[in-house]
Amino acid sequence: MLEILYMTKSLSNKLYLKKQLYDLRINEGTIFLEHLNFSNKVINELLVVDIKIDEKDKALILLNSLSESYDRIVTTMLYDKETLILKEVTSTLLSNEIRKRPNQKEQTGSGLVVTGERKRRRKERSEFIKNV
């Protein structure tokens, strides 16, 4: 019943979802994690309507959706690899995002705060990699 109301398997809905995925672009200043979450949401909605997308295509769509500020890392991932694996692409992009963030240490400079932040980032990154 809910599927009928919210995720019909009509051709127009399938085409709309595909268009949404293929037109996906990150805006400068958008946090990559938010972009990745939205991308995963669209991919999951496509699965609900019986459209499966190959893992390599997902990786390529994600790389293609990035802004010019990601050009160097995208070029490296596209031309320095034998295969394109979505989990590797996501992991690399998440690591890059974490490195780009401003230093988030408290003014006290406590090692405990830094260690806790590192653990939180690792956990956050591994959770998103599992969801991809």
Q: Identify the residue with better confidence: 81 or 23.
A: 23
Output the six-digit token pair for 95.
């690591």
- The rounded distance, in Å, linking the Cα atoms of 122 and 97 is 12
Tens digits of residue pLDDT in 72-114 = 999 988 886 788 889 999 999 999 888 877 765 544 444 444 5
pLDDT score, position 34: 92
Tens digits of residue pLDDT in 35-65 = 999 999 999 999 999 899 999 999 999 999 9
Place of tokens 């085409």: 15
pTM of the model: 0.68
Query: Which sequence spans correspond to the domains of the chain?
Result: 10-103+123-131
- Which amino acid is it at 61? I
> In what helix (H) or strand (E) does residue 81 lie, and over which residues does it extend?
none
